[in-house]
Structure 1
Amino acid sequence: MPRGDKSSYTDKQKRQAKHIEHSEERSGKGKETAERIAWATVNKQDGGGKKASSRHGGHH
């Protein structure tokens, strides 16, 4: 997946990332850094993309 391709994310995830990005920028981070933190946070919460939500259950 090319860097910057956000097509596998839901609208909700994109909105969330934007929101995080803005608050990071307000706290003095640069645009690049803020964006990286925002998407890393969304990935951490949801496991990245739409793929995570289609799997139900544990690790088995």
Structure 2
Amino acid sequence: MPQQAWSKKRERQYEHIKDSQVQRGTGEGRAEEIAARTVNKNRAQAGESDQASRTSTEDISPQRRGGKRSHSGSGGRTKEQLYQDAKRHGVKGRSKMSKAQLERALPD
């Protein structure tokens, strides 16, 4: 589902990511969603989009991140994600906690 605002490069990138996801066994719809989100985030980081969220511009690129936040990888959730979860749960003293302490303080 390439967008009109996308350049030829972004359209190729979208197709490549989508095909890669389908080869990994991801459903067609989900593969299209992943590809579109990845391309849009890359466009935002490169300054090619009219609107961009703070997380799109300040975060690392999806290619470099490579599943680091899949919640199941070796590192699990990032400290920032754990902190935000602790904030939602009202955990006291969260700002001074380490990543391991935040993991222990949060409910499973």
Structure 1-normalised TM-score? 0.69
Q: Which has the higher contact order (CA 8 A, sep 6+)?
A: 1
Larger Rg: 2
Question: CA separation of 1:25/1:5 partners in 2, compared to 1, >3 Å: closer, same or farther?
Answer: closer
SS of 2:48's equivalent in the other structure is helix
Give TM-score scaled by structure 2 length: 0.40
Gaps of at least 5 residues in structure 2 are: 51-108
Counterpart in the other structure of 1:45: 42
Matching residue of 2:81: none
Q: Percent identity?
A: 35
Count of residues in Structure 1 that have an aligned counterpart in Structure 2: 49
Post-superposition Cα deviations, 1:10-51, rounded to whole Å, max 9, x if no partner, equal 010000000000000000101110010001001111118xxx
Deviant stretches of 4+, over 2 Å:
52-55
Paired residue for 1:23, among 7, 10, 20?
A: 20
